[in-house]
Amino acid sequence: MKNKIIENLKTLFYALIIALVIRTFLFQPFYIPSSSMEPNLLVGDRIFVSKYTYGYSKHSFPFRPSFYEKRFFNKPPQRGDIVVFKTPEDNRTDYIKRLMGLPGDKIQFVDGNLFINNKKIEKKTVSTDTKIFCGEQELYINAFEEILPNEKKYIAVYNLNGGYKDSDVFIVPKKHYFFLGDNRDCSTDSRFLSRVGYVNEINLVGKAQIIFFSNDKKEGSLLKFWKWNKIIRFERFFKKIK
C-alpha cells in the first residue's frame, strides 16, 4: 500500500513537471475576457499561445523572476501578429492585441484612417451597419479588411457613432511595440499612454495561434448541457488565429 502511494505521488510529480515545462516553454492557454478583439476573437474563446515564437523573458516563467532584464533567443514579432503581453501599467495583467507599430514607426489616426509611417493603410469594406458587442453593449459598426505594408490582412471594426477619429503622432521607441485592438472603439491599447502605451519587448508573452474551445456565456452556463448547441461554439474549435 505504501509503495503504491509513493508511485502515485511520483506520477503526479512528473505530470506536474511536464505540464510546467510545456506551459513555460511551448504553449500556454488563455481565456478571452473582453470584446476588444472582436470579431476575430470573441469573449469566451480559449486559445493557445506559443511561448517560443518570440523567445523568452522573465514574463515567460511563473512568478516572473527579475534576475534578467533581456530576452533569451529573441525573435522579433511581425507586424499584424496577435500577441499576448503584460501591460506596462502593472507588468502583471495579460492583454491581447494586434501588433501594429514596430520600433521607430510613426502611428497616427486621421479622420478615422490609420497611417503607419505617413502611409494610409488600405482598407476594403466588408460590411456596414452591423452589430457587434462592446462588453454588454451592442455597437453599430462598419467592418473593414485592413491590409498592412507586409500584406497581412485582418478584419477591423469602427463604431458608426462617434468613433475614434484623430490622434497625435505616436513614435514607437527603441525595443518597444505599439498595439491596437481590432474592435477599435472598444479597446484600451497603446493609444492610451497612461494605461498601456508603448510595450517593452520584455513584456511579450507569446503569439496567439489557435482557438481550442469557445462558449457563449450570454447563452448560459456550460452546466446546462441541454443547451450546448447554443452555448458551445463548435464552429470555432481548432480555428487558426490570423
192: left (phi over 0), alpha (psi -120 to 50) or beta: beta
Confirm whether 242 is a catalytic residue. no
pLDDT at res. 64 = 65
17 or 146: which leads in pLDDT: 146
The three-point CA angle 34-38-39 to 5° equals 150
What is the CATH number for 118? 2.10.109.10
pTM above 0.85, yes or no: yes
Q: Which of 36, 60, 187, 214 is catalytic?
A: 36
How many structural domains does the chain have?
1
Confirm whether 36 is a catalytic residue. yes
> What is the mean pLDDT of the segment spanning 174-199?
95
Sheet architecture: strand order including 153-159: 122-134, 137-147, 153-159
Q: Does the pLDDT value for residue 23 go beyond 80?
A: no
pLDDT digits (tens, 9 = 90+) for 214-228: 999 888 888 888 889
Query: How many Cα atoms occupy the beta-carbon half-sphere of 89 within 13 Å?
Result: 13
Long-range CB contacts (within 8 A, 24+) of 111-118: 111/165, 111/166, 112/158, 112/163, 112/164, 112/165, 114/146, 114/180, 116/148, 116/149, 117/149
Of 8-17, 68-77, 84-93, 216-225, the one with minimum mean pLDDT is 8-17
Residue linked to cell 509611417 = 117
Cβ 151 vs Cβ 145: under 8 Å? no
Q: Does the pLDDT value for residue 67 go beyond 70?
A: no
The three-point CA angle 180-186-189 to 5° equals 30
The range of the structural domain enclosing residue 184 comes to: 2-240
How confident is residue 97, by pLDDT bands cut at 50, 70 and 90? very high
pLDDT at res. 221 = 87
How confident is residue 94, by pLDDT bands cut at 50, 70 and 90? very high
pLDDT at res. 160 = 87
161 or 84: which leads in pLDDT: 84
Identify which of 68, 65, 101, 99 has the alpha carbon closest to the alpha carbon of residue 85. 99
Of 54-63, 175-184, 197-206, the one with minimum mean pLDDT is 54-63
Residue linked to cell 485582418 = 154
> What is the mean pLDDT of the segment spanning 154-172?
91
Identify which of 77, 47, 46, 32 has the alpha carbon closest to the alpha carbon of residue 183. 32
Q: Does the pLDDT value for residue 8 go beyond 90?
A: no
pLDDT digits (tens, 9 = 90+) for 109-123: 999 899 999 999 999
Residue type, 161: N
Residue type, 71: R
Q: Which of 51, 58, 86, 97 is catalytic?
A: 97
26 or 123: which leads in pLDDT: 123
Dihedral Cα 27, 32, 38, 40, nearest 10 deg: 20
The three-point CA angle 113-201-144 to 5° equals 20
Q: Does the pLDDT value for residue 24 go beyond 80?
A: no
How distant, in Å, are the alpha carbons of 10, 52, 115 from that of 109? 57, 33, 6
Classify residue 108 by burial, with Cβ atoms within 10 Å: 0-12, 13-18, 19+: middle
